[in-house]
Chains A and B, each alone.
Chain A
Amino acid sequence: QQQVKQSPQSLIVQKGGIPIINCAYENTAFDYFPWYQQFPGKGPALLIAIRPDVSEKKEGRFTISFNKSAKQFSLHIMDSQPGDSATYFCAARGGFGNEKLTFGTGTRLTIIP
């Protein structure tokens, strides 16, 4: 019940395309859903985050779509660039005072010129 399932495992998109990464969860107590970008040898960096009372959030080229009834959320990257090539992780916070983040398995994104 604490799992966050992430797909796809890897993704190759042409420059300018819109990669979409999906995550699904079971625990309805989760109350905060961030997305992180990680480059090799570096710590994760927060891209964008959403709370379950919002269906969509956009920050720059990054958009989260959130479907509370389906317990799914996704990351869209508009006008993707080779510099966006990285590993992306979705996560979910435990809720009810549980501050632990549960991470998805990660998506290795490659943007080809």
Chain B
Amino acid sequence: GAVVSQHPSWVICKSGTSVKIECRSLDFQATTMFWYRQFPKQSLMLMATSNEGSKATYEQGVEKDKFLINHASLTLSTLTVTSAHPEDSSFYICSATGQIINYGYTFGSGTRLTVV
């Protein structure tokens, strides 16, 4: 089945530094990738949508300069949290869709970010 690999699974960084999270579709071409943020015991909140070779589309209220998204190829999207602060600590999850999976959605395993 369709697999999306997300790395790292957890990361601790110091306040003010930047962190990059990778999301790869291993066995299909992801025409669209999505990035979500999830707080404890809450639902998934869509942050942005990205298409290969295009600028990401951010949801209202999401700072595009803080959360940089790059979708450089049909199999790789990255989320960079710039100048991280403790309030950026959260669970970040990517998702991908594409024609080969009949436009269903496959999710990565998530990244737990802790900013200290």
Contact = CB atoms under 8 A, between A and B. Distances in A.
A108 B29 CA distance: 33
Contact of B43 (A43, A45, A46, A105): A105
A89 interface: yes
Interface string A87-113: 001000000000111011110100000
Interface stretch (B14-22, B63-71, B97-105): B97-105
Chain B facing A: main interface SS = strand
Contacts of A44: 44, 93, 107
A42 B104 contact: no
Contacts of A101: 34, 46, 95, 105
A99 B106 contact: no
Q: Which of B43, B46, B49 has the most C-beta atoms of chain A within 10 angstroms of its own C-beta?
A: B43
A104 B43 CA distance: 7
A41 interface: yes
A99 B44 contact: no
B6 A100 contact: no
A43 B109 CA distance: 4
A110 to B, nearest CB: 14
Nearest to B40: A40
Interface in B24-70: 32, 34, 41-44, 46, 49
B34 to A, nearest CB: 7
Interface residues of A, number: 19
A43 B107 contact: yes
Contacts of A42: 109-110
Given A49-B104, A89-B44, A101-B46, A43 B97 contact: no
A41 B46 contact: no
Given A41-B112, A43-B6, A44-B44, A100 B107 contact: no
B104 A46 contact: yes
Contacts of A41: 91, 110, 112
Given A34-B104, A43-B110, A99-B97, 13 more contacts: A32-B103, A42-B109, A43-B93, A43-B95, A43-B109, A46-B106, A46-B107, A89-B43, A100-B46, A101-B34, A101-B105, A106-B43, A108-B41
